[in-house]
Chain A
Amino acid sequence: MPELPQKKVGIIACSGEELPEGTIARLAALQVLEQLRPGDTVTICLPLFLAGGEGDRAFAKFYPTIAIDGCEKRCAFRGTETYSNRPAAGIVVTEVIAQEGLEPPAGRRRLNEAGKQAAARTAERIAARVDELLGRAWSRREGKFAGEPSSDEVTTCACGSGIPVQKLQVNGHEVSLLALPLLFQNMHEQKKPVSAETGHELMEMVKIYNAVDASAAAEIEAAVLAAYARYCAGQEAKA
């Protein structure tokens, strides 16, 4: 069975441009994405949940997500929960500052020393949460940790790009399948031929990322295999 895309944690930062804490949230997220956990984290702009497409809105279902908010309005957490999926964790900069006993930050455009210190402490907390989340099993189909019955039990403490979606025609209806382009890419890289066996294999992976109606599974599998054949033909034409 081909390997699934590597598990990563999504980081969504508050865009609170009107507060120093918003700047701290963005800088802390950047520190994690670029320096502390570059291979384990991805990000998406919060507004893309509304301004983007279906793949963008699937982000927090595909990845366990940490919302980094500048203030108690918690726009990143609430926006992600409303338009994508409940974040697996949330960190609020004002709470970090209070808990760490740091000086008040200042400077939206250029942070003062207290602000830089707050960004560093926030980044450390994010990195710790990333490590925790990577140690647990996330169900991309359910959009929650495996074995957790309800989102109410998800721990919260106090902000790239989206997942590709492909639409197929199945019995005259349009069906959107999350992550299908990635699966095609993965199978093609492994030189999987267009065959019934590959169709079964693809379908098992499609079921990991999508809720598939059992009564339509056979038709969807046929449509997926046909789309894979077109994908392979397209790749060969490019070569």
Chain B
Amino acid sequence: MTPPRKVMVIPCSGIGKSFGTVSRVAAYQVVEEDRPGQTQLVPLALLVTGDEESRRLVAENPAVAIDGCKLACASKMITQSGGQVAREFAVLDVFRRYREFKPEGIAELNAGGEQLAAALAREMDAVVDELTGEEGGSHA
């Protein structure tokens, strides 16, 4: 029996805007708390330097990109690393769906930013379940 594939999560690494921090906080929520067994975080820096193991992980598993701005580094780096973007989340688009959660702060998010990250994480959880063929995840 083939072991279930993990979903690779690749967040934005930007430190210029709150949206970059939202992407990382959401990624940590999914990878550490919501779906730890089904997901793995891949740092963009390792893809930039062509780290073989990171490239292999991205190429052989479904990859979810979380982009903090329109430059879409996470999505582009997945493609350039030989992978396919299974789902792309643009934090700005998520914010448009949850305008009541306005993020502020980069080093530390305000309450709105934390709530936006939580909302994004919930959407990602559903995508992870879809990609791994699980209903509601096996984490509960």
> Which of A's residues lie within 8 Å of B, judged by CB?
13-18, 22, 26-27, 29-31, 33-34, 43, 45-52, 73, 75-76, 78-79, 82-83, 108-109, 159-160
Contacts A27-B107, A108-B28; A45 near B16 (Cβ below 8 A): yes
Could you tell me the distance in whole angstroms from the C-beta of B56 to the nearest C-beta in chain A?
16
B44 and A46 form a contact (CB under 8 A): yes
Provide the bound-state CA to CA distance between A109 and B117, in Å: 12
Do residues A50 and B43 form an inter-chain contact, with CB atoms below 8 A?
Answer: no
User: Given the interface contacts A75-B48, A79-B49, does A51 sit within 8 Å of B71 by beta carbon?
Assistant: yes
CA gap between A14 and B48 in the complex, in Å: 11
In the complex, which of the residues A15, A33, A78, A109 has the most CB atoms of chain B within 10 Å of its own CB atom?
A: A15
Q: Report the tally of A-B residue pairs with Cβ distances under 8 A.
A: 95
Chain A residues with CB under 8 A of B71: 45, 48, 51-52
A26 to B49, alpha carbons, bound, how many Å?
18
B-chain residues with CB within 8 Å of residue A46 when the two chains form the complex:
13, 44-45, 48
- Beta-carbon contact of A18 and B43 below 8 Å: yes
A108 and B43 alpha carbons, distance in the complex (Å): 12
22 contacts between A and B (CB under 8 A): A14-B45, A16-B43, A16-B45, A17-B24, A18-B42, A22-B43, A27-B107, A30-B106, A33-B15, A34-B106, A45-B13, A46-B45, A50-B48, A50-B77, A51-B77, A73-B51, A75-B49, A76-B45, A79-B49, A109-B25, A159-B45, A160-B16
Q: 19 more A-B contacts (CB under 8 A) besides A48-B73, A52-B71?
A: A13-B15, A17-B13, A17-B27, A17-B28, A17-B44, A18-B41, A26-B13, A26-B15, A30-B106, A33-B15, A45-B15, A46-B13, A46-B44, A50-B76, A51-B73, A75-B45, A75-B49, A76-B45, A78-B49
